[in-house]
Structure 1
Amino acid sequence: MEKVEYYRQIFSAFKGLCSSGKQSCSFREYCREHGVSYYRMYLVLKEEYPSLNEIPGYTRGSSLKFRCSQVYEDFKSLCADGRQPGTFIDYYKGFGITKKQMKSYLRRNKLRVIDLPGYTSPFGGPGSHYKEIPFEDIIFEEAGFLPEESCNVITVRVDGNVEVSFPADTDLSVIAKFIRKMGKEITHVGD
């Protein structure tokens, strides 16, 4: 009796995945993952076991290529409609696809998420790979501290309207490195 109950739980769990649209593998693979025989499922459950095609939400082509394709196309249509559901990584991981599997699928089919119409990267603009770093973070990273307001400082004006202050005892190589990292025109360096 215990065996019948276990097979029933496995089958019910698979039906639940299908109905919620989260079927991540074939029924045969699902049985193998849970240590039950796919072939014995029908014999154990008998009348309770319908045809797999009768399960609501069951997709026969549940191969990895099919799943990746379906997830990519769904994400693409959501982006085009302006309803992007967060990052692409979070989206496909919800369907049981790993980063390695999706990366290989995208590479094999020469697809890119950044080129999707309506896609907005988590960093802001469409397809943007870069993230702005505040001046203070760069100063802290390079010099190891933030300047105090009351001490003697060296002021660097960037783009004519933003001023960054360094403590007077900061090594000039650190300031030069900051200027190079910013990649912007420095209009005034003074104290």
Structure 2
Amino acid sequence: MDRKERYREVYDTFKDLCAKGSQPGSFHGYCMENGVDSYQMRRILKDGFTNIRALPGYMSVSMRCSRVYHEFRSRCIAGPHPGKFSDYYRNQGITRRQMNGFLYRNGLKMRELPGFAGSRGCRKQRCVEIPFEEVIFEEAGFLPAGETNVITVKVDGHAAVSFPADTDVDVIARFVRKIGKEAGDVEP
């Protein structure tokens, strides 16, 4: 098989894969896997080469990354965790560099996906800062003292510590800082 036939075969198989909707990755990457130079393709095939973007079914890397990200997102929302995101996009023929570039350009973070739990090696933030605007106070800054008016702080989601409503905010803040270093989650 001469050089021109080899380039023609690689180009035609890539074109067929795009038409079927199973594009293996970028054209450059596909050419490298098959031992041809994508930059020489136009020169060698001359009139038999049409622009890659004009191929039916061809999707650019950013479009493929977007599709994969939104598919993974919908799977996270729909039910059980679909596994590692890196394994998911690599099975679709997208490299880590391509996906990280897509996420960075679009300001997306995996942590923000609903239902997504990080991998086992993912370290969670140990101390959560609590904005005191969310703690219920009257406009004066304190609730009137009484048995029914208390400020409750939950520690680790199950233990609760209650303070009288007239407790100074600094005392509660010190408590939250101290407990936040020892416990995982602290909620007002």
Report the TM-score, using the length of structure 2 for normalisation: 0.46
Higher relative contact order (Cα pairs below 8 Å, separated by 6+ residues): 2
**Superposition TM-score, scaled by structure 1 size:** 0.45
